Amino acid sequence: MSTLTETAPAAEVAGTEVELTYRDAINAALDDALAEDATVLLMGEDVSSDGGVFKTNAGLVEKYGRERILNTPICENGFIGVALGMSVTGLRPIVEIMFSDFLPTAGDAIVNELPKFRFMSGGQTSVPVTVRSIAGATGRFGTQHSATGESWYMALPGLRVAVAGSPGAAYSLLRTAIRSNDPVLFFEHKGLYGRKGVVRRGELAELGKAQVVREGADVTIVATLLMVERSLAAAKALADDGIEAEVIDLRWLNPLDMPTVKASVQKTGRLVVAEEQPHPAGWGATVISRLAMDNVSFRAAPAAVSLPDHLPISYSPPLEDAILPSPERIADAARGAVSAR
């Protein structure tokens, strides 16, 4: 293995606007981060093989070499531990966890080590590790390869959680995650890789800032990941009925941007949560609870929350489709909220 000092100098990352797929947006963020900072590296299973399992890493090994695009054995807990050791001694590892369902196989690293390491040391060090993880259903991958699990990790002080709902968000959130001196768990949705959108090369997302992706006065829909585009589709259908939905892409679960959500709900008085995971202990429950504690008055009829049944994801295609919130279900929930007395 060679040493980092031999790597290429930081590339020009101009403020160009380009249309990219979500996959390529991630690729661009990785590329720009690797070019900018010689201490950044990407590691995980098959990350350097054939562009990685989801092809997000295409071209990187050719450019940065097999040391900075580092294939690991199959041992998630072990190699996140390795990343932790690297991060406290001068490097900025990005770890790819192929499916979010595998995050629990590294449960100790993710729950007990990364978030608590700086704290337990009394602030002596920082832990600049980004864990990229590929989340979500729609792939017919069955019960053990379809979780988002995004909310499990927002309970952990010390761990930032980012959720990318579009190509633009994917790029800028990932750049921010990699630059962060704290551990960030970054969720990509496998159902979005082919989607196109505008990416501003070089842009960093603001930590903890949600984005209003559509304005509207009648009902607020809060969404993450795949549910962002489904909420936008719902909003379109609702507009045909004369209902103007405001759609918020939450972008971060920790920190959670309650001010943005609150302002919107205070305006619309109605809330729909579009989330691809069971309701109990989810971010949707947290958002609603925060508003309630904050004395925001809003309609919260049961239909106003579009939540999957409390069931694991099935392989069977019609079942997988039925369990996820569809644009129709989100729109119905919004209609319910609007018509509630």
Partner 1 sequence: MKDGQGEGATDRRVGWLRKMIEIRLFEEKVQELFMKGLIQGTTHLAQGQEGVSVGAIAAMREDDVLTMTYRGHGQALARGMDSEAAFAELMGRASGCCGGVGGSMHFTDFSKGLIGAFAIVGAGLPVAVGAAMSARMQGKDSVALTFFGDGSTNIGTFHESLNMASIWKAPVIFIIENNLYGEYTPLRETTPHEDLAIRAQPFQMPGIVVDGQDVGVVHDTVAEAIERARRGDGPSLLEMKTYRFRGHSRSDPAKYRPEGELDRWKARDPITILGARLAEESVLSEDDQKAAWDDIQSQIDAAADRAAEAPFPTLEETHRYVYAD
Cβ-in-10-Å burial (0-12, 13-18, 19+) of 155 comes to middle
Beta carbon of residue 201, minimum distance to partner 1 (angstroms, whole number): 23
Among 9, 90, 157, 194, binds its own copies (CB under 8 A): 157
Binding mask 275-304 for its own copies (x = CB under 8 A): --xxxxxxxxxxxxxxxxxxx----xxx-x
DSSP string, 213-245: EE--SSEEEEE-THHHHHHHHHHHHHHHTT--E
**Contact between 189 and 225 (Cβ < 8 Å):** yes
CA distance 130 to 332: 37
Identify the three-state secondary structure at position 194. coil
Alpha helices of the chain — where are they, by DSSP H? 22-36, 60-68, 76-87, 107, 114-120, 167-179, 226-240, 258-268, 283-293, 317-323, 327-339
Work out whether 264 is an interface residue with its own copies (CB under 8 A). Answer: no
Work out whether 258 is an interface residue with its own copies (CB under 8 A). Answer: no
Beta carbon of residue 15, minimum distance to its own copies (angstroms, whole number): 34
Beta carbon of residue 340, minimum distance to partner 1 (angstroms, whole number): 25
| Residue from 319, 300, 332 nearest 146 by CA | 319
Work out whether 334 is an interface residue with its own copies (CB under 8 A). Answer: no
Number of residues that bind its own copies (CB under 8 A): 57
Beta carbon of residue 45, minimum distance to ligand TPP (angstroms, whole number): 5
Beta carbon nearer to ligand TPP, 80 or 333:
80
| Residue from 142, 136, 127, 121 nearest 95 by CA | 127
**Contact between 252 and 225 (Cβ < 8 Å):** no
Work out whether 139 is an interface residue with its own copies (CB under 8 A). Answer: no
Question: How would you list the strands of the sheet with 305-306, edge to edge?
Answer: 211-214, 245-249, 219-223, 271-274, 305-306
Beta carbon nearer to partner 1, 165 or 208:
208
| Residue from 335, 318, 330, 167 nearest 233 by CA | 330
CB half-sphere exposure, 77, CA atoms < 13 A: 9
Active site residue 113: no
The one catalytic residue among 76, 113, 150, 229: 76
Beta carbon nearer to partner 1, 21 or 314:
314
Beta carbon nearer to partner 1, 88 or 155:
88
Active site residue 76: yes
Q: Which does 127 bind (CB under 5 to 8 A by kind): ligand TPP, its own copies, partner 1, none?
A: partner 1
Work out whether 269 is an interface residue with its own copies (CB under 8 A). Answer: no
Beta carbon of residue 135, minimum distance to its own copies (angstroms, whole number): 14
The one catalytic residue among 145, 229, 246, 275: 145
Beta carbon nearer to partner 1, 108 or 215:
108
Beta carbon nearer to partner 1, 189 or 270:
189
- What Cα–Cα distance (Å) separates residue 30 from each residue in 173, 185, 214, 277? 11, 15, 28, 28
Residues contributing to the site for ligand TPP (CB under 6 A): 45, 74, 76, 98, 102, 105
Binding site for its own copies (CB under 8 A): 77, 101-108, 110-112, 115-116, 119-120, 142-144, 149, 151-152, 154-158, 253-254, 256, 277-295, 300-302, 304-305, 310-312
Active site residues: 76, 145
